[in-house]
Amino acid sequence: MAEKHHSTWRLFLYSLPSITLAALGLPLAVHLPNFYAKAMGLGLTTVGAAFFLARMWDVIIDPLLGQVSDKYKTRWGRRRPWVVISAPILMIASFFVFIPNRGLPVLNSVIVFFGAEPMVAVTENYLIGSLFLLYLGFTMLLLSHMSWGAELSSDYNQRSRIQGWREGLSILGVPLVLMLPMVIQAVGGIDTEHNSVEIIGWFIIIVAPLAALISVISMGENEAKPEPHVPFKEALGPLLSNGGLQRLVIADLASGFSGSALGAMFIFVATQVWQVGEYTNMLLLLYFFAGVGFVPIALLLSYKFGKRATMIGASMFNVCFVPVLFLIPAGNIWIAATVLVFLGVNVGIPSVLYRAMMADVCDYDEVKTGQRRTGLFFALLTLTAKVGSALAIGVVYFILDRIGFNAAGDNTPETLSKMSYLYVAVPFFCNIFVTLMMWRYPIGLDEQKELRRQLDERVVEEVESVERTGVEGIV
C-alpha cells in the first residue's frame, strides 16, 4: 500500500501543541516544585507529596482517556477533538497553578458563593486541586496528540520522523519558556520567582488555544476502522503477554524517574553546589539547545542502526558521562556550561524513540488481536512516564528532607555532598536499567516490516470480502 509522505511544513504545524507541552513539562519538573516549596512556603515533603498524589490521578485518567479516544469517532476524527478540548482546561488550570496570588482570590469568590469558608493562604489542598485539573488537560493534550501522530504513518522510519518533529518542537519550546521571563525581567527590571512563574503561566494561557487550533486545522487524521467492544479480561491478556510493550513502558518509567529527579534538584544543585545561580536559566537553555541540535542526528542513527540500538547507545552514553558532574568546580560557569551541553545531547532521544517504538508495538498488538488500540497503548506510555516523574519528585524531596537539606540555603558541606551523590546516582542507575530493558526488545526494522505486511494483507482480505459478500466486517 502506498505510504503518504507528509511535508515538513505540515509536520511543523501539526507539532505546535508540543510547545504547550514543553511550557508545562519543564516547570512541572523544575520550577513549580521549587516555587511552592520555597517561595510559597509549603516545604519539601508537602510539595513532594502533593505532586505525587496529583500524578497518581493519571493512573485513572490516562487509560480512560486512551480507551475513549480509541472507541469513539466524531466527524472531525478520534484524536483532534481532544486536542481542542484540552486548551480551555489548560488555560484555567494554568491560571490557578502558575498565578496562585491571583488564583486564590478567584477561588475564594467561588467558595464564598457556595457558602463555605474561604482559604486564608495557598495550601496543600489548593496545590493538589489545581494540579489535578492541570494534569487532566495535560494528559488530554499529550495522549491525543501522540496517538494522532502515531497513526499518521505506518512506515518504520517515517514514524521516527513524525515523533522527531513532535519532540523537536517540544525541546525547542523549552528555550522559549526559559527566555521569556529573562527578556521581560531584563526589560522591566523584574527579578522575583513569583513573576518568573507567573510569566510562564500567561505564556501557556495564550499559546495553548492558538497551537491547538492551528494544529487541527493544518493536519487531518488517517481513516480508522471502528473497533469492536472487547471485554476487559479478554483485552488484558495480550497486554500481559506483549513483551515489547512491557519492556518499553518499564524503560519509560525509569527514564521519566531519572529526568524528573534531575529537574527537581537542578535549581538546588546549580545554586548551592555549583554556585552559578545567576546562570541557572542560561545553563538550562544550553542543555535543551543541545537536545534540539542532536535530535536529527539521533534520527539518522536510528535509521541506520535501528531504534533499539540507538536507545541502548544513548543510555550507555549517560551512564558513562553523568559522573562528570562531580568535576564541575564551584563558581566555574564555563565548565558547568560545557558539561551541560554534552549531557543535553540525549535529552530528546528517549521521548522520540519510545513513541516511535510504541507505534510498532501497536502494530504487533493489532496483528495478534485484530484491534488498533493506539490510544490505550500511548496512555500506558504516558502513564509510566508520569508515574516515574511523580515518584521522582516525591522520593527525591523526601530524601532531601531526611538529609536535612534546606531549600532556602544555609546547608552544610556534608548535606550538599549527599545531594550531589543523589544527583549523579539517580541517572546513573536508571540508565543502566534502561539498557537492560532495551537489550532484548523484540521489534526491529525487519520485524516491523513483517508486521506491516501481515496487516496490509489483512486489509486486502477485508476489501475482497466486502466485494464478494457486500458485508463489511473485520477480518
Q: Is 352 exposed, middle or buried (0-12, 13-18, 19+ CB in 10 A)?
A: buried
DSSP string, 424-463: HHHHHHHHHHHHHHHHT----HHHHHHHHHHHHHHHHHHH
Q: Are 3 and 158 in contact (CB under 8 A)?
A: yes
Quote the distance between the C-alpha of residue 65 and its chain's center: 16
| Three-point CA angle 27, 31, 33, nearest 5° | 105
Cα end-to-end distance, the chain, whole Å: 18
Checking if the pLDDT of 109 tops 60, the result is yes
Checking if the pLDDT of 229 tops 70, the result is no
Helix segments in 242-373, DSSP class H: 243-268, 280-305, 307-321, 333-344, 349-369
pLDDT value at residue 355 = 79
> Which of 25-39, 197-211, 397-411, 454-468 reaches the highest mean pLDDT?
197-211
**DSSP strand E in 133-243: where?**
none
Using alpha carbons, select from 284, 283, 317 the residue that is nearest to residue 298.
317
| Three-point CA angle 112, 116, 119, nearest 5° | 75
129: cell is 486541586
Given the C-alpha cell 525509569, which residue does it identify? 254
Checking if the pLDDT of 287 tops 70, the result is yes
217: cell is 486545522
> Which of 181-185, 246-250, 421-425 reaches the highest mean pLDDT?
421-425
Would you say the C-alpha torsion 202, 207, 210, 216 has a positive or negative sign? negative
pLDDT value at residue 194 = 57
Return d(Cα 273, Cα 415) in angstroms, integer: 10
Averaged pLDDT score across all residues of the chain: 81
Q: Are 376 and 334 in contact (CB under 8 A)?
A: no
2 band by pLDDT with thresholds 50, 70 and 90: very low
Checking if the pLDDT of 238 tops 60, the result is no
pLDDT value at residue 323 = 92
**Which has the minimum average pLDDT: 58-72, 111-125, 186-200, 307-321?**
186-200
DSSP string, 280-299: HHHHHHHHHHHHHHHHHHHH
Model confidence, pTM: 0.69
78: cell is 478520534
159: cell is 514514524
Using alpha carbons, select from 240, 203, 264 the residue that is nearest to residue 397.
264
**Which has the minimum average pLDDT: 14-18, 83-87, 231-235, 288-292?**
231-235
**Which has the minimum average pLDDT: 119-128, 267-276, 390-399, 463-472?**
463-472
Checking if the pLDDT of 339 tops 60, the result is yes
Quote the distance between the C-alpha of residue 16 and its chain's center: 15
Return d(Cα 314, Cα 344) in angstroms, integer: 11
pLDDT value at residue 473 = 47
Return d(Cα 155, Cα 145) in angstroms, integer: 18
**Which has the minimum average pLDDT: 4-18, 208-222, 361-375?**
361-375
pLDDT value at residue 424 = 94
Domains and CATH numbers, the chain: 17-219+242-456 (1.20.1250.20)
pLDDT value at residue 96 = 94
Higher-confidence residue: 315 or 380? 315
Return d(Cα 288, Cα 167) in angstroms, integer: 11
Per-residue pLDDT, averaged over 158-176, amounts to 75
291: cell is 537536545
Return d(Cα 435, Cα 119) in angstroms, integer: 48
pLDDT value at residue 43 = 82
Checking if the pLDDT of 163 tops 90, the result is no
Q: Are 48 and 389 in contact (CB under 8 A)?
A: no
pLDDT value at residue 474 = 40
Checking if the pLDDT of 219 tops 80, the result is yes
pLDDT value at residue 430 = 93
Given the C-alpha cell 496512555, which residue does it identify? 379
Q: What are phi and psi of 282, to 5 degrees?
A: -65, -40
Q: Cβ of 454: how many Cβ atoms within 10 Å?
A: 13
475 band by pLDDT with thresholds 50, 70 and 90: very low
**In sequence order, what are the residues at sequence separation of 6 or more whose Cβ sits closer than 8 angstroms to the Cβ of residue 320?**
none
DSSP state of 79: S
Checking if the pLDDT of 425 tops 70, the result is yes
Checking if the pLDDT of 181 tops 80, the result is no
> Which of 34-48, 187-201, 217-231, 243-257 reaches the highest mean pLDDT?
243-257
